[in-house]
Chains A and B, each alone.
Chain A
Amino acid sequence: MSRIARRFATLRTQGRGALIPYVEACDPDYDTSLAILRGMPAAGADLIEVGVPFSDPSADGPTIQKAALRGLKGGSTMKRVLEMVSAFRKGDDETPIILMGYTNPIEAYGPERFCVDARKAGVDGLIVVDMPPEEADLLAGPAAAAGLDIIRLVAPTTPDDRLPVVFNGASGFVYYVSITGVTGTRTASTDELAQALPRLRHATDLPIAIGFGIRTPELAANAVRAADAAVVASALLNTLAGTLDADGKATARTVPAVLDQLRGLADAVHAVSKTVS
């Protein structure tokens, strides 16, 4: 059983939903992002998404765009991202790590070598934003061989008859992009989620995470009431950005501010009691 499957199984027996925070690699520098990553499990992260900076994140809103640029300026390369995960794994062998990024840096690294090295570093799953099922064969073989989960995105625009196509080859969990839009903008309403989730549940047994636009503890709690996990990215990145000095460098407040916010989100998510079905 993969770390991801194990974690969701444990959460289910505990009757809890999961909080999945996001940290952009090397934002604004390697040490700061590693300190945030290391502090996340104790602050309540159940799984963690590590963003792989890309120069042209065309599906992301301004917050993640800026974080990606800070990450690149902070020295991020694919090699460096994997080093960061390795460093994290020395102190934590349980919390699943999912890399989130775009196709080109993976293609440039070499898909097979990437999957082998990512697994070796302790990565558990991959979300490749611009790789729909139609293009998934680039990674499917190497990821399966390395034992990495491929987390598929589903959107409000995905029609029911396409769901089997999307879930074919999916593993770990399913990421529901709850709005039509870019990250960190609008928030899906409770009604919208209530409508969307049954049609996903009908098509997959995998746990479902909801992302895009989840900013507050209340919204995170709403998301895990409807689904199995809430992903929070832009809200944490905004907090991080607000602590940087005039030159964009980390300050003493950077790591604690992000982790404090994470604690608040985690408390709200973990207060939701999910009946074991």
Chain B
Amino acid sequence: MMIPLSHAPISCGVAKLSATDTQAGANSLRSGPDGRGRFGIFGGRFVAETLMPLLLELDGAYKAAQADPEFRRELDYYLKDYVGRPSPLWFARRMTEQLGGAKIYMKREELNHTGSHKLNNVMGQILLARRMGRTRIVAETGAGQHGVATATVCALFGMKCAIYMGATDVERQKPNVFRMRLLGAEVVPVTAGAGTLKDAMNEAMRDWVTNVHDTYFLVGTVAGPHPYPQMVRDFQSIIGVETREQIMAAEGRLPDAIVAAIGGGSNAMGIFHPFLDDPEVKLIGVEAAGCGLDSGRTAASIERGKPGVLHGNRTYLLQDADGQITEAHSISAGLDYPGVGPEHSWLSDIGRAEYVGATDQEALDAFQLCTRTEGIIPALESAHAVAYAAKIAPDMGKDQIIVINISGRGDKDIFTVAEHLGVKL
């Protein structure tokens, strides 16, 4: 059977962030954060005084870079020729037919160099770090996707690189640990706490505070103290900017829903942000429900957390009545975090985006569905988004459109999935 042309992957030039994209009007939902780095009550800069002058310097350097056309030109060059942007928007024909409802498109962020959306942000920040004269990079990583992306650009630019990774995650993401070491990074296993992303974040902050003179802290998600949530979102919003152009080219209209997985929330924020002022586009963030939202073993910070302060920002957090942070749980190391980016907390409170959960089992099922129907092995993180899209698509009309952000590829997860399927590799 011939595949109609309109179903072929859409390709176009690297989308440019124009002045109107970054300078939203007063009534726009895209104008945040405010001068204090707040989105409503969320965000801020809750850090030790040692770091505060560095955040102010970073904020100034980022603003200067934004205003410098040369910075944009340099970033565009690397995004196109090194990252491999734009990523295609793929019409998932077989999955659409199997689910029998809305048309499903997939934004193919897993096709970026290093296999996830993480490189979009890392490329922006490494260029900024170079402009600031820093020679050493520290980063935290959960699944290892951000760590691999960071180690990659450090190799590319010949910079020293230390990646903090929870000891539990080092164990369950061995391929990525080896990749980072091949790339020349020092991978530091963190044994504090449950040895997951939260503990890696603490340790990366301790390294930064100790080595402030030459070190740049390259945060991997839309969390942390201001300006990180804004900066990471801006660098990731290339995903949404391209999606907008591509869906207009393919369908002549905006989608009815955009579905993305949420750990810290950078892939979701990146695809949501250019659509915040289009109320007809439903934005759905899928948190990791773990063993179930009410199982006590979950990573669904927005759905089961309360506002609080951790890692430099106020946001929804999994915590006990005394304000102690509780351990998150998810099959996916990248979503195993008890917090979420502050802009998501705000979008949830004002009702602009909807936050739902997908369980470990639902993600595993969706992982296989996506693999078998589209020949795309998604990351377990992205499988959470596929799971929820698969849940709502059958009840939507055939003329409706869902875009799923396939934020990463699943090669790194095959050991975890094999174990859950009872297969010995």
The stretch of B65-73, B114-122, B319-327, B381-389 in contact with A is: B319-327
A59-B209 CB under 8 A given contacts A72-B324, A104-B319, A109-B323: yes
A8-42, CB under 8 A of B: which get 1 and which 0? 00000000000000000000000000000000000
A243 at the interface (CB under 8 A from B): no
B366 at the interface (CB under 8 A from A): no
Asked whether, in the complex, the Cβ of B206 is within 8 Å of the Cβ of A132, the reply is no
B198 at the interface (CB under 8 A from A): yes
Asked whether, in the complex, the Cβ of B50 is within 8 Å of the Cβ of A65, the reply is no
Given the complex, which residues of B lie within 8 Å of A78, measured CB to CB? 322-323
Asked whether, in the complex, the Cβ of B49 is within 8 Å of the Cβ of A180, the reply is no
A56-B310 CB under 8 A given contacts A132-B48, A177-B49: yes
A169 at the interface (CB under 8 A from B): no
B305-319, CB under 8 A of A: which get 1 and which 0? 010111110100101
Asked whether, in the complex, the Cβ of B198 is within 8 Å of the Cβ of A56, the reply is yes
Given the complex, which residues of A lie within 8 Å of B310, measured CB to CB? 56, 104
Asked whether, in the complex, the Cβ of A132 is within 8 Å of the Cβ of B308, the reply is no
Asked whether, in the complex, the Cβ of A130 is within 8 Å of the Cβ of B202, the reply is no
Which chain B residues numbered 51 to 71 have a C-beta less than 8 Å away from chain A? Answer: 51-54
A166-B309 CB under 8 A given contacts A134-B36, A182-B210: no
CA gap between A78 and B321 in the complex, in Å = 10
Nearest CB in chain B to that of A180: its residue: B212
A65-B192 CB under 8 A given contacts A72-B324, A180-B210: yes
A148-169, CB under 8 A of B: which get 1 and which 0? 0000111111110010001000
Asked whether, in the complex, the Cβ of B319 is within 8 Å of the Cβ of A132, the reply is no
Q: Is the interface of B mostly helix, strand, loop or mixed?
A: mixed
A61 at the interface (CB under 8 A from B): yes
Given the complex, which residues of A lie within 8 Å of B127, measured CB to CB? none
CA gap between A7 and B309 in the complex, in Å = 33
A239 at the interface (CB under 8 A from B): no
The stretch of B39-47, B256-264, B278-286, B294-302 in contact with A is: B39-47
A54-B324 CB under 8 A given contacts A180-B210, A181-B209, A182-B209: yes
A142 at the interface (CB under 8 A from B): no
Asked whether, in the complex, the Cβ of B48 is within 8 Å of the Cβ of A107, the reply is no
Given the complex, which residues of B lie within 8 Å of A238, measured CB to CB? none
Asked whether, in the complex, the Cβ of B323 is within 8 Å of the Cβ of A180, the reply is no
Q: Is the interface of A mostly helix, strand, loop or mixed?
A: loop
B35 to chain A minimum Cβ distance, whole angstroms, is: 10
Asked whether, in the complex, the Cβ of B308 is within 8 Å of the Cβ of A108, the reply is yes
Nearest CB in chain B to that of A80: its residue: B322
Nearest CB in chain A to that of B37: its residue: A134
B193 at the interface (CB under 8 A from A): yes
B413 to chain A minimum Cβ distance, whole angstroms, is: 27
A277 to chain B minimum Cβ distance, whole angstroms, is: 27
Asked whether, in the complex, the Cβ of A130 is within 8 Å of the Cβ of B312, the reply is yes
Asked whether, in the complex, the Cβ of B322 is within 8 Å of the Cβ of A105, the reply is yes
Give the B-binding residues of A (Cβ under 8 A). Answer: 54-61, 65, 72, 77-78, 102-109, 129-135, 152-159, 162, 166, 177, 180-182, 185
9 nearest CB pairs, A to B: A108-B323, A105-B323, A155-B50, A181-B210, A59-B48, A103-B309, A58-B202, A153-B49, A55-B324
